Amino acid sequence: MNALNALFPGRCPTFDFRPVLFFAAFALPLASASGEPETRPRQEIQTLMSADDFRAAGLHRLSSEELEVLNSWLYGYIEVERREAVEEAIPSGEPSFGLEQVTTRVAAIFQRDTPSTIESRIVGEFRGWRGNTVFRLENGQVWRQAAPGEFVVRLEDPVVRIRRATMGSYLLSVDGYGSTVRVRRVE
């Protein structure tokens, strides 16, 4: 049963509110450029729907108190759905390691559960790095050499560590060797 129909029995038995909720969910911004949540203006259903749709749904018959209850419920529902969608869409823990380089808009969100170091293996034969080397890791992450340098070695599936360095950069090192190279995450 539609939640709004349960809230207002007999008022709008056939109106499907899903398109309204879908529109309203995208009408509310997720976060400001600073990473701080914005104060979201409360969207009222009478401004989200056309006058014809509002009337066709029978919502014009609601008292101002009933309309306020509907608007409060709608706003709360949208906020819960938005938060759940954000939590689902944004990885945490090791899968988020390095993604803050992808966009500064959501960097603050990614940093909440991001470790300072990850360990994985380079898949297959590894011959070191020479300028623009791509590192495909067993955990699915892909990193690219971001600074000049050369390290020659021939290993099979070596263990590597990537750690946070200064100014938002990352350093990759191969287990058992002292060489490091600055890298950036590309996938």
Tens digits of residue pLDDT in 57-111: 898 898 888 888 888 888 777 777 777 776 666 667 777 777 655 555 554 555 5
- Report which of residues 183 and 4 the model is more confident about: 183
Same structural domain, 125 and 72: no
> How far is residue 125's CA from residue 156's CA, in Å, rounded to a whole number?
5
For residues 185 and 99, is the Cβ–Cβ distance under 8 A? yes
Shared domain check, 123 and 70: no
Alpha carbon distance 74, 60 (integer Å): 16
The counts of H helices and E strands in the chain are 6, 10
**Does residue 111 sit within a domain?**
no
* 137 in Cβ contact with 143 (< 8 Å): yes
Report the chain's mean pLDDT, rounded to a whole number: 74
Same domain? For 19 and 54 the reply is yes
Average pLDDT (3-13) is 48
Question: Are 84 and 121 members of one domain?
Answer: no
Structural domain of residue 122, as residue ranges? 116-185
Neighbours of 167 (CB within 10 A): 4
| Of 50-54, 111-115, 132-136, minimum mean pLDDT range | 111-115
Residue 100 lies in a domain: no
Integer angstrom CA distances of residue 145 from 114, 120, 133, 136, 137: 21, 16, 5, 11, 13
Find the length of the chain. 187
Q: For 183, list phi and psi in degrees, rounded to 5.
A: -130, 165
Residue 179 pLDDT more than 80? yes
| Mean pLDDT on 166-183 | 89
d(CA 31, CA 106): 8
Q: Does any domain span residue 56?
A: yes
Provide the number of structural domains found in the chain: 2
